[in-house]
Structure 1
Amino acid sequence: MSARTSIVPIAVTVLFGAVAALLDTTLVAVALNALQADLGASVTAVGWVSTAYILAMTAVIPLVGWSVGRFGARGVWVAALGVFLLGAVLSACAWSVGSLIAFRALQGLGGGMVLPLTQVTLARAAGPERLGRVMGVVGLFGQLAPVTGPVLGGLLVDGWGWRWAFLATAPPVLAALAMTGRWFPRETERSSRPLDVAGLVLLPGGLVALLYALSGGGVALAVLGGAMITIFGVRALRRSDALVDLRLFADPSFRGGTVMMFVLGVTTWGPMFLLPLYLQQRGGLSSLDAGLVLAPQGVGMGLAFLLVGRVADRLPPRPLAAAGMAVGTAATVPFLFTSDPVLLGTTLLARGAGFGVASLPIAAAIYRTLPKAAMAHASSASNVVQRIGAAAGTALMAAVVAAAGFEPALLVMVVLAAVALASTIVLRPTPGGPAAPPDSATGRPTDSEPHRRPRCR
């Protein structure tokens, strides 16, 4: 079987798991208004239903590189899907907002590993010369979640209640588990790299403190969180077994792509929390109608992935990302002037297309110049950064809505999109060839020519 053919069953297997994790986000976003009313929760507490999930994802993502090396990607994949499924079932059984937040955190522990495992498995199977095309096809199928999630969530919430929004992710998880035994690649190599336990405490603990401070927890928590993250960074730069390999940031392509992943996390996840509540509470729409308004954004992203995937392999990342961000920013501005569902659905189609065009070169840039052995740790590091942005964006939107209402939050959404456009300057202006692997002692790319791979054509 050729390499080009063999990637198909692998992709189908991991995409079922990835779609389940992505569906969860869009399904729950539409259900937030209903569960807020049913559980008698505040906007801030409802925000933590999403934030706790994202923080748990962030906490476990750094374990991906270590656990894949120690136990193999296949075993970690099965465990991640199992934990995600358990968290979904328990969330559907929650009796209070506190219990729901706890169960969402459990679910996030599983979901946090599913998405980076999907990326690293496909990156290994595709190779650097086909990354853009593979990411494009994967992104296209991944957009089934943003397109169908809001509509399916609206149908479930309006018909049977918000608890079914959590149970809807069970079928794709079970399908992924069934296919794993047949298609998921087996690995024989194992790593003896020790686990950075102190880093596992410092990084997630610092993030929780910072985000809780953002939600009104006080200056002391912000100082504590900042200190913990600083200590983590100093330790990580001095250790070869750090939870997150910060030496990867010596690679300029990886560094630029990862910074943009953070920006995308803030820019996309914050509105993902804001818009369903805005459409239902201020626009008076039902869960289903809100889902129908939100669905075009996923359609726009899917079209962008379908059309731009092959182009992303040939063009420099910066101009393509900047063009997409410009469209996405322009399509965000109408939210300041209208609440008409038809017009907003149209602008969300354009916003989705813009962010879809931008995200492809960013995703490919992360892996483009790294050796295969570094891909698991690169996936871990970039996903941590993106989820930090996602958690920060969600907490920020919840704080602004609780303190000032929807109109200022919509203005913040526009500002964030403009910041994302300006941030594309950090991407490399040219495609660039694969770099040499980082030196094991310094983390800097070596100059040894035998390590270099041919440029992608």
Structure 2
Amino acid sequence: MPARALPATATEGEGEPPGAPTLPAIATVVVLGALLSILDTTVVNVAIDALARELDAPLATIQWVATGYLLALATTIPLSGWAADRFGSRRLFLAAVALFSAGSALCGAAWSAESLIAFRVVQGLGGGLILPAGITLIGQTAGPRRMARTMSAIGVPMLIAPMLGPLLGGGLLDAVSWRWIFLVNVPAGVVVLLLAARLLPRDPAPAPRQRLDWAGLALLSPGLAALVYGLARVGSGRDAPGANAGALTDHATALLPLLAGALLLAAFARHALRRDGALLDLRLLRERSVAAAAVALLLLGGAFLGALFLLPLLFQLARGESAFATGLLLLPQGAAAALTLALTGRLADRIGAGRVVLAGLLPFVLGLAALTRITATTPDLALAAALLLFGAGMGATMMPAMTAAYRTLERARVARATALLTIVQRLGSSLGVALAAVALGDGRAAADFASAFRWPLLLALAAVVPAIVLACHRPEGSVVKQA
């Protein structure tokens, strides 16, 4: 029987029937939806200073416009697996894009810093579900034999998106106003919804209903929120007027949420390891490659987004660049990341993804180390070289680290591993932004930024340990090798 006559399956994805949505069409829709979500992790970074002025709020408050979005992304990702089983991946993708677009419209209409932060959370709740739903759709269509190639293809725009965010945000900020940084998502979201309704495959018959892990949800989401809130309070209370007089109160408002968040996350870990069908399958961490990849992604995500939070502010506050010029100055790292990711895909198959991660940490660390030496007179050429190293290292570490995690997993466990690794990466991103904001405080001089860049550098240096574990772990018969 010809291959085109074979029915498509949710596991293999081999040979679609005539008229069925093609894998390139599905991947295109998923990439467009994911770009909306990922761009908004950094698109507001160049507008932080403008938002502080327009909304009459301190930087320590406005940084929650970035942190709140990242936190909302992290708290919704654990629900993606259950929601896809319960409602279908196509329906989940459509609902997520619709919620993201509605949140964007609300952000554009915000009247205060507090309302903008609240609407960014709404936006993040939708954005956090877009990528997991999309990856599930690709997996159902591609099957294990085409999954790795497809993920490599869509990985390039997904890695570039955080770096294009400042350019887009800067252009809109200079041309119109900060509101259009959010309002531009509305027509773009409508286009993605129309394409998704036309091109995405219909959901198969729903699986038997699986009960939502309400206990896990009640522990995990508040735990994440409390942890990041505590970190943000450390920064906001440090330089506040009267901070010395109220030091005990300032410490309490920071340390109590930190302690509560750590306890809630520890309770969730205990719960998840004992329960079948937990919100996150932490038993996967018993696999050494998954555990090492999770730690690496936590640290790399924190270093990456922490640095991307600081870079636009560095150019604008310490070097006096416009928002659009800042976006242009950040383009070299995006180009370096895309080129490196394209080159390391085949190399990872040949020598192992773990070794690629370890090698990629060298330029990543060197670029961040150069940024810790920044001064008011540092030449633009030296800054560009540091950004090239930073971008090249990012392209050689993030995606290969995730690929390395799958090498010992059966096909049935890949989806659960994806959910786990994605939330770990998102958690690392939100913590990285919070740490960077804490370190910067209300600083505006080049020396303040040089000091703040030490935190992303420390996170990158810590990632060397799990990278060594991944490099030394080379099992046979991996999912990636079957691709």
TM-score of the aligned structures, taking structure 2 as reference length = 0.85
2:77 pairs with one of 52, 61, 82? 61
Q: Which has the higher contact order (CA 8 A, sep 6+)?
A: 1
Give the superposition deviation at 1:230.
Answer: 1.2
**Whole-angstrom CA distance in 1 between matches of 2:15 and 2:28:** 14
Which residue of the other structure, out of 302, 324, 345, is the alignment partner of 1:288? Answer: 324
Deviation (angstroms), 1:352: 0.9
Q: 3-state DSSP class of the match of 1:119?
A: helix
* Correspondence for 2:361 among 310, 325, 340: 325
Q: 2:56 matched to 1:40?
A: yes
Match of 1:374 among 372, 394, 413: 413
In 2, the alpha carbon distance for the partners of 1:122 and 1:158 equals 37
Match of 2:214 among 187, 194, 197: 197
| CA distance in structure 2 between the partners assigned to 1:285 and 1:204 by the alignment | 38
Deviation at residue 97 of structure 1 after TM alignment: 0.6
Is 2:199 the counterpart of 1:183? yes
CA distance in 2: counterparts of 1:368 and 1:275, whole angstroms: 35
Secondary structure at the residue paired with 1:94?
A: coil
Change (3 A) 1:104 1:117: same
**Structure 1 residues 237-246 or 338-347, which shifts more?**
338-347
CA contact (8 A) 2:39 2:161 kept: yes
Aligned to 1:210: 227
Greater CA deviation, 331-340 or 295-304?
A: 331-340
Corresponding position: 1:312 with 2:351 = no
How many residue pairs get matched? 440
Query: Residues 454, 98 of structure 1: CA spacing in aligned structure 2 closer, same or farther, 3 A cutoff?
Result: closer
Partner residue of 2:137?
A: 121
Inter-partner Cα distance in structure 1 for 2:25 and 2:441: 46
Residue 140 of structure 1 aligns to a residue whose secondary structure is: helix
Residue 428 of structure 2 corresponds to: 389
- Structure 1 vs Structure 2 CA RMSD: 2.2
1:429 aligned partner: 472
Assess, with a 3 A threshold, how the Cα gap between structure 1 residues 347 and 132 changes in structure 2: closer, same or farther: farther
Question: What's the offset of the Cα at 1:3?
Answer: 4.6
User: Are the counterparts in 2 of residues 143 and 299 from structure 1 also a CA contact under 8 Å?
Assistant: no
Partner of 2:240: none
Runs of 4 or more consecutive aligned structure 1 residues displaced over 6 Å after TM superposition? none
3-state SS of the aligned residue for 2:453?
helix
Which amino acid is 2:317 matched to? Q
- Counterpart residue number, 1:444: none
1:95 to 108, 111, 119: 111
CA contact (8 A) 2:159 2:395 kept: no
- 1:403 deviation in Å? 6.7
Larger CA deviation: 348-357 vs 305-314? 305-314
In 1, are the aligned partners of 2:14 and 2:143 still within 8 Å (CA)? no
Deviation at 1:340, TM superposition (A): 3.3
Aligned match for 1:174, one of 159, 182, 190: 190
Larger radius of gyration: 2
1:124-163 pair list within 5 angstroms: 124-163=140-179
What whole-Å deviation, never above 9, does each CA across 1:393-419 have from its counterpart, x for those lacking one? 111111111176323102223222222
2:248 maps to which residue?
Answer: none
Deviations 1:97-117 (A, max 9, x none): 100110000011011111222
Could you tell me how far 1:363 is from its partner in structure 2? 2.1
Alignment partners' CA distance in 2, 1:156 and 1:185: 35
Q: Call closer, same or farther: CA 1:131–1:355 in 2, change over 3 Å.
A: farther
Q: Given that residues 89 and 166 in structure 1 are in contact (C-alpha distance below 8 angstroms), is that contact kept between their aligned partners in structure 2?
A: yes
Q: 1:420 to 1:321 in 2, by over 3 A?
A: same
Distance (Å, rounded) in 2 between the aligned partners of 1:298 and 1:189 = 40
Unaligned stretches of 5+ residues in structure 1: 436-452
Q: Say whether 1:86 aligns with 2:102.
A: yes
For residues 54-107 of structure 1, what are the alpha-carbon distances to aligned partners after superposition, in whole Å with 9 as ceiling and x for unaligned?
A: 111111110011111111101111111011111111111111110011000001
Q: Which amino acid aligns with 1:202?
A: L
Question: Which amino acid in structure 2 is aligned with residue 456 of structure 1?
Answer: Q
